[in-house]
Structure 1
Amino acid sequence: MPLEKSPQPASPGHIAELADQCVQCGLCLPVCPTYALDRSEAESPRGRIAIAAALARGEADPTADLRTYLDHCLACLNCETVCPAQVRYGELLIETRRLIGPMPGRPRRLLGLLTRPRRLRTLRQIARRLDLARWKPWLARRLAGRPTWQAALLTLPDHAPAPRVRADSARPDQPLLALFPGCVASVEDAEAQQAAVTLLQAAGFAVMALPAFCCGAMDLHGGATAAAENAAKQVRQAWHTSGAGQLVSVTPGCLGTLRRALPDVRVVDPVELLAAHAQRLHFRPLKQRAALHLPCTQINVAGTGAALLQLLERIPALEVSSLPRPPHCCGAAGSHLLEFPERAARLRDATLRQVATLAPQLLLSSNIGCRLHLAAGIDTQGPPLPTMHPLTLLARQLQQETR
């Protein structure tokens, strides 16, 4: 049975132990996006590890400067992939932020809106009725002195959100999967979630959808311990009533938090299951050039980047190329694009320059925060380029069997 609660908070002594694993070799520096931005040791993984150790041992106080270095971290986990000492940097970062609490000035009101799907969907409907797309440039200029709200406005899509996902197939001869809709994704990525249902059913699975709510990822990574634990309890309750054998999420950014809440449950990216049953899936040709942006969480948490590329290559005539790395992160990073919009925009611009080198007709990205962030940059800079979840494209090209 899954654990009834998330792992207990680490003690300062444990944080120091995690930090002591670092051998200060510096191999993490070339893959760290924030070190690339600032060329400052304090903006690197080993610099933050040293800060965490000092805070845990009481050798330093969480001053504004020290907090800023920790808060700037994108938690992309690129450093973990190259670390010869296998430092558990993600765990260390979460526990250190838990130790010092949420950063001052965290946009709680805005995050509270984004993490409540009903309120977000209502807001989107109101925006459509008021023709927000027409007024967005003017409003953005008016919000120049409030960069967080300006970034939120520019990230808000102009098109209407898709209907809520419908997933209720339950054939007894098929393994049952539970789909976790999430918060922002349940509104802005409902089409991709419906695509996942279509593809998984074609691959031989039965799928049911859990209620839409936040997994707690932004609170967990922001040091808001109580809110994150409340979300984890809601995840466990929904899972226990599902009767499913595995939990899936089309948003790679949710996977790590869901696995933390359900440590004994198999929580996977649908891409992993689809790739394992790819022989059951057949696609119509599509003569188009697509650029594939692989979010940090898809590479470093889900581990499904190669599998996704192989699935897309099954679409005849489709030319698909992955974005070069570096840059190693687009800058969205959960709530980072709202908390540090200027830094997030600089990272996004570097990513979009790489997109331009591929001259695509379509940009694919599986993480909703990354895709909205990139789309906002495209809208600002031009030229126009449609963006889409890769599963949406796969479902559109799927050849359905006729019976």
Structure 2
Amino acid sequence: MKSPPHTRKQKIAALADQCVQCGLCLPTCPTYGLDGNEAESPRGRIAIAAALARGDAEPTATLRIHLDHCLGCLNCQRVCPANVKYDELLVETRALIGPAPERPRQLLAMLKQPTLLRLASRVADATGLERWKKRLTDRLPANSAWRAALATWSDDGTALPASLAPSPEAGQTVVAIFPGCVASVEDETAERAAVTLLQAVGYRIHRLPAFCCGAMDLHGGEMEMADRLAERVRDSWRNAGAAQLVTVTPGCLGALRRALPDVSVTDPVTLLAERMDRLSFRPLERRVALHLPCTQLNVARSESALQKLLSKVPSLDLAVVPRPPHCCGAAGTHMLEFPERAARLRDGVLGQIAILAPQQLLSSNIGCRLHLAAGMDKHGAHWPHMHPLTLLAQQLENSP
């Protein structure tokens, strides 16, 4: 719902007033860690938001860049003793000042269209993009969003696990699964894995159409488009006849919950953990590094459930990637809009992964995984990567 400017300003000012300026958020903020600049901290951004809302400052390029740099990781919100709703404050402030002039609209419009992404994927396969991708990216400017997007192009050949598709039983809970846009193409394997696992514990699955949830627009200040996509989410949900909504990428959860405030919207991991006793897995002797995306920690809050599920795989040697670093730098479109900053954050995470010496990398956020994979390519690291649900489905007893 579009808010009048004066109403939005009042809301931002009220949200900002909740901050007690204690500074406990500073050590958890990735951008403050990069720059050591108060304006690049949650406390500094709250002060900027308050000044903009009260008319004490104008959204100049010099001022707004600090808001644009924010990753929206919400590490600050998780540790805040005053319970400041930083996520809401950030969204409202970006809506107030509007999208950045440099926002790569054409690229983002393509990423939001699953049909276009699939077509681009077929063209890339037919032309052997993986062989000449580096030569093409090297010709593009260092801070080009298109260069960053090409660097994350996936050539993942992971086999899709087949759904168990048991016969429906009377009284089974129906769960709707939201495919998303990029995730519906790049993480289709994980979506099918989620269906396999959820059916194995007794849920019936209804798949919603694949489209963008509006997260990219919501966090980019494109509120009108975000509202239109939220209405599409509501229309799809009304036709689902389901009790709960899940998505395999936690990056969609915030936008879905905003669109459906009265609906249980969660990570499949949470539902699977509640019926964990129904799952049995084949042994796997492998050392894996588990990267926990900010959205899984601070929005889904399902990290403990995921680790419990993975611990049920016999012989699996699970090592959790330490924090800090607090964010890999992907952060939705941040890796496209600020590739140099995103790469600096990514290098810290890759360094922590290297210390763990894994044979494989697991991460539930497709943006994080593609961003980390681009860094692996750059540094010559070779850790196969997949969604944790894909590994669980592959090791599920009685699965193909």
TM interval, shorter chain, is over 0.9
2:297 & 2:157 partners in 1: Cα distance?
30
Paired position in structure 2 for 1:374: 372
The alignment status of 1:141 with 2:128, answered yes or no, reads no
Query: Contact conserved, 1:6 with 1:260, CA < 8 A, in 2?
Result: no
Mapped pair 1:152 → 2:152 = no
User: Could you tell me how far apart the structure 2 residues matched to 1:105 and 1:164 are?
Assistant: 41
Q: 8 Å contact 1:165–1:209 — kept in the other structure?
A: no
Structure 1 counterpart of 2:228: 230
Q: Counterpart in 1 of 2:96?
A: 99
Instruction: Give the Cα–Cα distance (whole angstroms) in 2 for the partners of residues 68 and 223 of structure 1.
Output: 13
Q: Secondary structure at the match of 1:222?
A: coil
2:79 is aligned, of 73, 79, 82, to 82
Q: Which of residues 288, 293, 296 is equivalent to 2:294?
A: 296
TM-score normalised by length of structure 1:
0.95
**Contact 2:328 2:346 (8 Å CA) reproduced:** yes
Which amino acid in structure 1 is aligned with residue 366 of structure 2? Answer: I
| Partner residue in 2 for 1:67 | 64
* Alignment check: 8 A CA contact 1:162 1:190 kept: no
CA distance in 1, matches of 2:243, 2:253: 16
Q: Give the root-mean-square deviation of aligned CA atoms.
A: 1.9
2:106 is the counterpart of 1:126:
no
How far apart, CA to CA, are the structure 2 residues paired with 1:230 and 1:165?
34
Cα contact 2:291–2:362 (8 A) shared by 1: yes
Q: Could you say if the C-alpha distance between residues 170 and 70 of structure 1 is closer, same or farther in structure 2, counting changes exceeding 3 Å?
A: farther
How far off its partner does 1:173 sit? 2.7
For residues 162 and 56 of structure 1, do their structure 2 counterparts lie closer, same or farther at Cα, with a shift above 3 Å needed? farther
Name stretches of at least 5 consecutive residues in structure 2 with no aligned partner. none
Deviation at 1:171, TM superposition (A): 4.2
Matches of 1:149 and 1:188 in 2, distance apart? 17
Query: Partners of 2:253 and 2:175 in 1: how far apart?
Result: 15
1:164–1:186: 8 Å Cα contact kept in structure 2? Answer: no
**Number of residues of Structure 1 aligned to a counterpart in Structure 2:** 398
CA contact (8 A) 1:252 1:366 kept: yes
2-structure distance, mates of 1:44, 1:401:
47
1:65 alignment partner, SS class: helix
- Partner of 2:318, secondary structure, is strand
Question: With structure 2 as the length reference, what TM-score do the two structures score?
Answer: 0.96
| CA deviation map 1:67-91 (0-9, x unaligned) | 1000000000000111111111110
2:358 corresponds, among 357, 360, 383, to 360
Name 2:322's counterpart in structure 1.
Answer: 324
Alignment correspondent of 1:265: 263
**CA distance, structure 1, for counterparts of residue 142 and residue 296 of structure 2:** 34
Shift of 1:160: 5.8
Determine the structure 2 residue equivalent to 1:16: 13
Once the two structures are TM-superposed, the CA of residue 104 in structure 1 deviates from its matched residue by 1.0
Instruction: Find the counterpart in structure 2 of residue 333 from structure 1.
Output: 331
**Cα gap change, 1:84 to 1:378, in 2 (>3 Å):** same
Contact kept? 2:71, 2:331, Cα under 8 Å? yes
Q: Describe the shift of the 1:103–1:201 C-alpha distance in structure 2 as closer, same or farther (beyond 3 A).
A: same
> Which amino acid in structure 2 is aligned with residue 229 of structure 1?
D
Q: After TM superposition, list the pairs within 5 Å mapping 1:272-287 onto structure 2.
A: 272-287=270-285
Q: 1:52 to 1:146 in 2, by over 3 A?
A: closer
What secondary structure is seen at the aligned counterpart in 2 of 1:11? Answer: helix
AA of the residue aligned to 2:52: L
Q: Which residue of 2 aligns with 1:206?
A: 204
